[in-house]
Amino acid sequence: MSVGKVYTLCLRLTVDPAFAEKLTTEIFLTTWRNISFFREDVLFSSWLTGITTYTILEWMRNKGSMRDNPDQNKLQQIKVSLNKKNMVRFEVDIQSLPHQERFTFVLHDIEKYSNDEVADLLSLTKENVNDILQKAYKLLKSPEEVMDKKAYIDNCLNSLPQIIQPENDIWKYVFSALNKEQASELKNSDEHLKESKEKIQTEKEGKKFGFLNRKKK
């Protein structure tokens, strides 16, 4: 899973370009810090998608905005950006959905999580997930002449871009953040090594003076 794909998922779930960029950087830092927990029997892309989803959900819950509608100013910013890139109208319709409907639809229909997985992620029942999905399908726009809306939605999903390029070069921020993280780890390691050497030296001197004291007795 590339930086672009992580950003795309962040953008679809948060409907906030600036925050999606910041969040993408933080997700790669989180991945770096927890790389020792990665299991070889799991696809790295699946693992990274899980980290991305949980990170965004945690932010949304902390903000208390799971049931809010998208910020219209930020949505307009996205519309302008997508128009410049000739993105399909359906992308804008997805990001116009209320948060709960958008999260459920994106996770289920785009990221291909099962109903049970979506229910677990969003703390819902399986029946709730089905109800919210049906509501999302109704809210998504379609031409009047469309007879089978679900078939229309499935066709639109096939034409969705896998990657929406951000306005800024996120790789630059990711590499910069990772370099700072590594530099910090090296500094902490050097300081720990220095402290260990000083402790050993202090213990040696303590033993030395202790021996001299005992000798005087």
Residues 33/55, Cβ–Cβ less than 8 Å: no
Predicted TM-score of the model (pTM): 0.72
Residues 30/9, Cβ–Cβ less than 8 Å: no
CA distance 3 to 18: 15
Digitized pLDDT (tens) for each residue of the chain, 217 residues in all = 578 889 999 999 988 888 888 888 888 888 888 888 888 888 888 888 888 888 888 887 776 655 566 677 776 767 666 665 545 688 888 988 998 899 999 999 999 999 999 999 898 999 999 999 999 999 988 777 778 888 888 888 888 888 887 777 777 777 777 787 777 766 666 555 666 656 655 655 555 555 445 454 4
Tell me, what DSSP letter sits at residue 70?
A: P
Q: Specify the DSSP element, H or E, that contains 110.
A: none
